[in-house]
Structure 1
Amino acid sequence: MTLKYKVLGIVFILIAVLIGLLKELDYLGSLSFIIFIFALGMFIFSSLPAGLVAWLSLCAGVLFGLPEEIIFESFNVDIVWLMIGAFIIAEVLVKSGLLSRLTQWIERHCYTKGRVTFFTFLLIQILSVAVPSTSGRASAMLPVYNILSGRFHHHKKFFGIGIPVLILMGANTTLLGAGSHIIGIGILSTQTGESISYVEFLIYAMPFGLIVGLITLFILKMMYFKDFGYDFEVKSEQEKRPFTEREKSALILVGITILLWLGEPVHGLDIAFVTILMSLIMMLPHFKLISWKEGLSSVSWSLIFFVAGAAALGKLLVDYGVTDYFQYILMTLFSGLNVTSELTILLIIILISVLSHILITSHTTRAVVLIPVFIILAESFNLNTQAAVFIALLGINFCVTLPVSSKALLIFYESEDRPFESRELMRMSMMLLPVYIVLMILTYYMYWQHIGLELI
């Protein structure tokens, strides 16, 4: 055992002892907190697969007294089934030939630096409006990454780190951009009776999402796409071919899926259910798109198990009072502040929400922990609750510091060629973090407070 792991072991033991001494938490609450801290430390410092760490942590918790149901019920989370369906649908796009057609389109049109980078950005923005969750978009973009990184192999780093980071920035444009948005608005509706509709969220968020996405694209190009140097022959228009029956079937079924996603308020079916239903329909032999075996093989089960395990770890914090304890601590801190300045309140919400991904790696867990706190904060200081929740949700979306900070990052980080390292992601985060915070402040004073999202 190296010195680093000995030191980390001692630090963990000390933290575990301190947690055990907390009178506010009972035994299961303290155990859940300790298990979560252990898993978080292993995510950051260990080379073990993230999914293996999550499940070993859960099993350790069961051995020390947590109920066995946390293992068996861990897959009872909609995001897990959403991701399974998204992986299958992404494979349908590959098997049907639609992505091959996309490759040919790239060969005909993406032969300059500007076209390649703008095409990547535009495709991600389109997906951010239509495809729910960052992980679903990352799954859909992975085959596109393989195409672009193969064609422009000198700039593989740009696509490998750029696509997932741009996906995370694109999450700011729409209510479906991240699962935490839906959770946060749900908490807002439950606790206050207020809500933010899909269209309202789009109006509030789209300008910020597009601007931060373009700034991110510019930084990525400066860092990883300096010299183009490719000289491709533009393909003749005569090489275009008509759509095959398989392509037409895939296009129609994917189109129906997107319409069902967008029409959730009308038909009332959960997005995860729609995704898994349509993925099953696409595997029917009648459509000749993808077989049952091929569909299951296309799923990244290591990532699915990690998501299920991480969701279970986050649920433990809620079920056994750890999040209540943190809410109490935060409210105690806030109650001691004599906050009268709008800028001070804005900075508190932005800094806490943006930096929270360092301590709470799960996007969903951050929303579950922080949104109730910001609602209480808003009500305590007579703030606009909708504004506080909306700003916090956009702050929570910043999660590009570590691979475990987002499932979209993990999908690329755990791919076979591992296009980026943790240190490169952290470097990217250090450049984007101040830009993100300043842009949120500027957007508030120049836009949000003038369209009904003023805090005071």
Structure 2
Amino acid sequence: MSSSATSSPSPESGEQAPVRYATTPPRPPGLAPKDTPITWAKDNVPSIVGAVLLLAFVAWCAFEAFGPTPADDARLPAQGALTLAVFAIAIWLWIFSSIGDTYVALGAAIVLVLTGMLSDSQLFSSLGEDTVWLLLAAFVIAAGVTATGLSTRAAVYIVTGATGVRQLVYLVTGVLVATAFAIPSTSGRAALALPIFVALAQALHDRKRLVLALSLLFPSVILLSAVASYLGAGAHIITSQILQTSGYEGFSFTTWLIFGLPLAVVSSYACAELIMWLFLDKEGRSQKLDVSVEKLEEHTSMPLTGPLTVGQSRAALLTLAVVLLWCTESLHGLHPAVVALLGALLATSPGYGLVTMGKALKTVPWSMLLFMAATLTLGTALVESGAADWLAHRVLGPVSDAGAAAGVVFVVVVVVMSTAAHLIIQSRSARSAVLIPIVVSLAPGIGVDPMAAAFASTAAAGFCHTLTSSAKPVTLFSDVEGIETYQPKDLLRLSAFLAPVMVGMVLFFSFVIWPLMGMPLFL
């Protein structure tokens, strides 16, 4: 290709400076010139180490499946080896690549179908699971409630009753715990709570330490309180489905509420106290406040006073009715998904509706639903191929050598692993898809109830506060335009104290509280 040059006067010297017009197309962004030397970036080291470990794991699986083994019952089935290889590659891509989690999960599921590890009916049936319909309908109901402004108005009304810092923190915590039953997603709850935080932060702009504490409180409580509800996180549904696939009863909305709500309340308020202790001094914790509705209305376009609108009244009645029907399934026999669908139809009905069906469906996180369905398929493949059982005995099998204390050691290891897993696998659903099949496979042989162990693992996985990338609510509140929130060092400081507190709390509930409530830990 050729280029031409013309001249134009230089603004500084008055001389003619050459102006070049190249006919060669510009280099795509991020593509280095040919003569640029190739260098190793420090950011590539973890992915390279991960790739080496991935290859070693795949080689180990191949050797266990096709190499000499001392006992036939210790051999990994060939189907299990292939399933583990696909699953390991998916985990590597979840951790180190920029490819979307849903794309990776669907790709892995398709590979298992093409290789004969799964039937196409198993893949497609996961999209028709009752839990997928339950979440879909719940999102439609949540869209209607949000559209009326009821949730924001109720939260602001409660918060404005605070006369001191500790009271404000406690009221915010209570409101956030309650949202676990209205919004079936931690990301959705974070998006709903963000305007409330912004209004509070602007009204308290002269108290920077309090704003910092509130910015940590909102995402922390949202994540910890999700365990209160069966719909609080996709991981809860995945856990129940894997249990059912393995031949166990699984959890319903009511049973999850019974065991999860106490932990959600205790852990949320413990976190609130910890945040105040770490980021507010004694004087800051005892300060008086005057957060009025009028002051908050200055920072929001939504009216916060006056009687409830017709839509808000209908939204309140609809939410109350749906939650009550979910909690009384044993009395009326209606499946929770059917109740949710009835609520969704009512929320979008032409006469009574709070929002149109089209607008409500646009708010549904379809990517999350597809991801959940795909990970359910992967979990099924791990169980049915024998991979989960083999891996459980290989990885956690040495725990059984602890003798009489094997069950105790097993539960402690599971809870610690589940708490730390967010540093490797960011998606809570993906963590459950990886850990729960292993836990369920190994627990009976050590004398531990699989349902109790799976519940403890899922509850512990709710801790994901260490990095801004560890969870979407943490990411959302880390960068709020016009408001100074927390820095990475603040998250690390909080996590250093909160992680051991959460491990101890889940273990205490596992060994003491849940057995007293009807979920024994040991068989």
Q: Deviations over 1:173-212 (max 9, x none)?
A: 6778744775688689x66x9x999988877766554433
Aligned equivalent of 1:40, options 86, 91, 102 = 91
Q: Deviations over 1:294-339 (max 9, x none)?
A: 1111112232232223222222212322112134436853553322
Q: 2:153 is aligned with what amino acid?
A: R
Give the whole-Å Cα distance in 2 for the aligned partners of 1:422 and 1:53.
28
Task: Calculate percent identity across the aligned residue pairs.
Answer: 19
1:116–1:330 distance in 2 versus 1, CA, 3 Å: same
Give the Å deviation of 1:273. 3.4
1:78–1:421 distance in 2 versus 1, CA, 3 Å: farther
Aligned equivalent of 2:444, options 375, 378, 386 = 375
Give the Å deviation of 1:434. 1.9
Whether contact under 8 Å (1:74, 1:308) holds in the other structure is yes
Q: By percentage of residues, which structure has more helix?
A: 1
Aligned equivalent of 2:161, options 102, 109, 121 = 109
Give the whole-Å Cα distance in 2 for the aligned partners of 1:104 and 1:82.
29
| SS, match of residue 308 in structure 2 | coil
Match of 2:292 in 1: 234
Give the whole-Å Cα distance in 1 for the aligned partners of 2:463 and 2:291.
39
Give the whole-Å Cα distance in 1 for the aligned partners of 2:160 and 2:128.
45
Match of 2:299 in 1: none
Give the Å deviation of 1:25. 3.3
Match of 2:20 in 1: none
Match of 1:303 in 2: 368
Q: 1:351 is aligned with what amino acid?
A: V
Q: Which moved more, 1:395-404 or 1:52-61?
A: 395-404
TM-score using structure 1 length: 0.76
Whether contact under 8 Å (2:253, 2:327) holds in the other structure is no
Aligned equivalent of 2:51, options 9, 14, 17 = 9
| SS, match of residue 397 in structure 1 | helix
TM-score using structure 2 length: 0.68
Match of 1:55 in 2: 106
Give the Å deviation of 1:291. 0.5
May I ask how many residue pairs the two structures share in their alignment?
439
Whether contact under 8 Å (1:180, 1:393) holds in the other structure is no
Aligned equivalent of 2:316, options 244, 251, 254 = 251
Give the whole-Å Cα distance in 1 for the aligned partners of 2:288 and 2:100.
37
Gaps (5+ residues) in structure 1?
none
Q: 2:81 is aligned with what amino acid?
A: S
Give the whole-Å Cα distance in 2 for the aligned partners of 1:49 and 1:151.
34
Match of 1:118 in 2: 170
Give the Å deviation of 1:77. 3.3
Give the whole-Å Cα distance in 2 for the aligned partners of 1:421 and 1:301.
31
Give the Å deviation of 1:106. 5.3
Q: Deviations over 1:345-397 (max 9, x none)?
A: 4343132234146288433664443235323322xxxx7x5xx8536623431
Q: Which moved more, 1:115-124 or 1:53-62?
A: 53-62
Whether contact under 8 Å (1:25, 1:322) holds in the other structure is yes
Give the Å deviation of 1:263. 0.9
Give the whole-Å Cα distance in 1 for the aligned partners of 2:220 and 2:62.
38
Give the whole-Å Cα distance in 2 for the aligned partners of 1:89 and 1:159.
28
Match of 1:279 in 2: 344
Q: 1:28 is aligned with what amino acid?
A: Q
Q: 2:499 is aligned with what amino acid?
A: L
Aligned equivalent of 1:261, options 326, 344, 357 = 326
Q: 1:397 is aligned with what amino acid?
A: A
Match of 2:127 in 1: 75
RMSD of the alignment, in Å? 4.5
Q: Deviations over 1:140-178 (max 9, x none)?
A: 453123322343266777566544542443355677874
1:449–1:31 distance in 2 versus 1, CA, 3 Å: closer
Q: 1:346 is aligned with what amino acid?
A: V
Aligned equivalent of 1:144, options 182, 189, 193 = 193
Match of 1:325 in 2: 390
Give the whole-Å Cα distance in 1 for the aligned partners of 2:254 and 2:279.
35
Give the whole-Å Cα distance in 2 for the aligned partners of 1:179 and 1:105.
33
Whether contact under 8 Å (2:431, 2:461) holds in the other structure is no
Give the Å deviation of 1:53. 2.6
Give the whole-Å Cα distance in 1 for the aligned partners of 2:493 and 2:90.
24
Give the whole-Å Cα distance in 2 for the aligned partners of 1:426 and 1:77.
38
Q: Which moved more, 1:76-85 or 1:205-214?
A: 205-214
Q: 1:21 is aligned with what amino acid?
A: F
Give the Å deviation of 1:446. 7.0
Give the Å deviation of 1:424. 7.1
Match of 2:76 in 1: 25
Give the Å deviation of 1:271. 2.4
Match of 2:12 in 1: none
Give the Å deviation of 1:65. 4.9
Whether contact under 8 Å (2:466, 2:492) holds in the other structure is no
Report matched runs for 1:155-304 at 5 Å: 162-170=217-225, 178-179=236-237, 208-223=263-278, 234-235=292-293, 240-304=305-369
Match of 1:85 in 2: 137
Q: Which has more radius of gyration?
A: 2
Gaps (5+ residues) in structure 2?
1-39, 66-74, 203-207, 296-302
Q: 2:188 is aligned with what amino acid?
A: S
- 1:98 paired with 2:150, answer yes
| SS, match of residue 286 in structure 1 | coil
Give the whole-Å Cα distance in 1 for the aligned partners of 2:445 and 2:197.
47
